[in-house]
């Protein structure tokens, strides 16, 4: 495993791998809040009769909140100006409190949608800030470091489906466990150390994000990321619902729902595992090459899943598992590329701004996906999702030409 940063760690401070291990646990715990409403949505609909608009709003509010939080953080340079561990911890704990508020407000009402918005805004201090901490620990192994961090994010994103499966119809138990986990993760992050490549910005520079446009390499890395995000969160947010519809063609709904939750968890988790492996390989064969390969496979798997929809259950599961494994490894490499090309004291802000643009796009894809399913069916929606990887590949090929 490559390593180029631990010798300058201050005496008595936690070393590189213990710090990163603790950071990964904190990331998994914090990001367990992201898809909580989507995972327990069938139970909420059954108990409260939430309207289709409110169902979509509960999921998309997280994306909107994240965009608002990430843009504010990027413009103010928060990840580069203040201790990222304290920023991470405060955001994870506050997000846990807003998530837990769903226990006492009316699900599907204004306050519940606002709580999901606030949760998303605060998670902008968890995901990109975690990447800022990770890239401070290395340069030669940066693809692996960010890949591992994004893998942790993915396991956290998959966790709500597992919690919903374990909790059965008791959505309150699932919600409470995720909230407790996020708060605990925030506390754990405080005990990590910052690496020798960590750089702090001396002052607020709102114009720093303009580097994303003036630097062609960063611009094409952003373009590839946007193609990737066109597909990613729409798939993650709705794959459980889509699978339940597909499986219902061959089994009773009461059997299709738990199976769809299990496969959704496994598909998202598979992406996390693949992200770690791809990160290790990317430092040897090139980050852009790994991103291109991942998008070729994920786009193809999206089309295969469209063709398999409603067919044999085993075939649909196989296609979705391949899709889930391939849909994520490119994400970490886009962020690692930005960190490579950015000035060290702007890396946190530029990675945060990158995620803000990506999640702004996901607001539309997540919101429109169930409406598209009603109009053209899930197979048609899956095929449209494949457009994103195709555009992302074009961006990466342009980047390779100028690198």
Give 277-329 pLDDT, tens digit per residue: 898 899 889 999 999 999 999 999 999 999 999 999 999 999 999 999 999 99
The answer, yes or no, to whether residue 2 has pLDDT greater than 60, is: no
How many domains, in total, are found in the chain? 1
Is 10 part of any domain? no
Is 7 part of any domain? no
Is 9 part of any domain? no
Enclosing domain of residue 62: 16-196+208-402
Is 202 part of any domain? no
Between 216-247 and 313-326, two packed helices, what is the crossing angle to 10 degrees?
160
- φ/ψ region of 309 (left if φ > 0, alpha if ψ in -120 to 50, else beta) reads beta
pLDDT above 70 as % of the chain? 95
Q: What is the pTM of this model?
A: 0.78
Question: Worst-scoring range by mean pLDDT, 112-126, 157-171, 370-384?
Answer: 157-171
Phi, psi of 192 (to 5 degrees): -80, 165
- Give the pair of three-digit tokens for residue 285: 């064969």
Phi, psi of 39 (to 5 degrees): -70, -35
Q: What is the CATH number of the domain that holds 339?
A: 1.20.1250.20
Is 5 part of any domain? no
pLDDT of 6 reads: 41
Q: Give the 3-state secondary structure of residue 130.
A: helix
- Return the number of other C-beta atoms located less than 10 Å from residue 383's C-beta: 17
Between 142-167 and 253-285, two packed helices, what is the crossing angle to 10 degrees?
170
Residue whose entry in the numeric block shows the structure tokens 């199976």: 259
108-112 CB contacts, 8 Å cutoff, 24+ apart = 108/44, 108/48, 108/50, 108/51, 108/54, 108/55, 108/58, 109/54, 112/58
Q: What is the mean pLDDT of residues 222-244?
A: 92
**Tens digits of per-residue pLDDT, 107-157?**
888 999 999 999 999 999 998 899 889 988 988 888 889 888 888 888 887
Is 201 part of any domain? no
Instruction: Look up residue 5 and give its DSSP letter.
Output: -
pLDDT above 90 as % of the chain? 49
Structure confidence at residue 12 as a pLDDT band (50, 70, 90): very low
- Give the pair of three-digit tokens for residue 143: 């693809």
CA distances in angstroms from 189 to 4, 92, 119, listed in the order given? 22, 9, 18
**Tens digits of per-residue pLDDT, 67-92?**
999 888 888 888 788 899 999 999 99
Is 321 part of any domain? yes
Q: What is the mean pLDDT of residues 268-272?
A: 86
Dist CA 256 CA 243 (whole Å): 8
Find the helix or strand (DSSP H, E) in which 254 lies: helix 253-285
pLDDT of 8 reads: 44
- Give the pair of three-digit tokens for residue 55: 């169902």
Find the helix or strand (DSSP H, E) in which 251 lies: none
Q: What is the mean pLDDT of residues 189-215?
A: 77
């Amino acid at each position: 495993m490559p390593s180029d940063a631990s010798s300058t760690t201050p005496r008595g401070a936690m070393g590189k791998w213990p710090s990163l291990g603790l950071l990964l646990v904190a990331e998994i715990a914090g990001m367990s809040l992201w898809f909580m409403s989507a995972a327990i949505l069938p139970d909420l609909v059954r108990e409260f009769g939430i309207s289709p608009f409110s169902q979509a709003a509960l999921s998309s509010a997280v994306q909107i909140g994240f965009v608002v939080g990430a843009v504010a953080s990027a413009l103010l340079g928060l990840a580069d100006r203040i201790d990222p561990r304290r920023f991470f911890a405060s955001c994870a704990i506050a997000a846990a409190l807003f998530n837990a508020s769903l226990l006492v407000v009316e699900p599907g009402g204004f306050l519940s949608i606002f709580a999901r918005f606030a949760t998303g805004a605060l998670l902008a201090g968890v995901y990109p800030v975690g990447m800022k901490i990770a890239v401070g620990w290395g340069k030669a192994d940066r693809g692996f470091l960010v890949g591992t961090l994004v893998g942790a994010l993915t396991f956290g994103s998959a966790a709500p489906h597992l919690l919903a499966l374990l909790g059965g119809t008791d959505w309150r138990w699932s919600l409470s466990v995720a909230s407790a986990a996020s708060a605990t993760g925030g506390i754990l992050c405080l005990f990590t150390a910052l690496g020798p490549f960590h750089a702090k910005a001396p002052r607020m520079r709102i114009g720093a994000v303009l580097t994303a446009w003036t630097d062609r390499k960063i611009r094409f890395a952003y373009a590839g990321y946007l193609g990737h995000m066109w597909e990613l969160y729409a798939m993650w947010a709705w794959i459980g619902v889509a699978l339940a519809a597909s499986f219902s063609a061959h089994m009773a709904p009461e059997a299709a729902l738990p199976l769809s939750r299990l496969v959704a968890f496994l598909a998202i988790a598979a992406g996390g595992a693949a992200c770690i492996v791809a990160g290790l390989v990317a430092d040897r064969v090139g980050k852009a090459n790994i991103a291109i390969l991942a998008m070729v496979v994920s786009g193809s798997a999206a089309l295969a899943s469209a063709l398999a929809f409603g067919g044999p259950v085993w075939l649909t599961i196989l296609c979705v598992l391949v899709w889930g494994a391939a849909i994520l490894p490119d994400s970490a490499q886009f962020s690692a590329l930005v960190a490579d090309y950015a000035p060290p004291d702007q890396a946190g802000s530029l990675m945060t701004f990158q995620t803000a643009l990506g999640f702004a796009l996901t607001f539309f894809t997540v919101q429109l996906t169930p409406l598209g399913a009603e109009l053209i069916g899930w197979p048609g929606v899956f095929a449209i999702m494949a457009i994103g990887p195709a555009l992302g590949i074009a961006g990466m090929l342009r980047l390779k030409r100028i690198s």
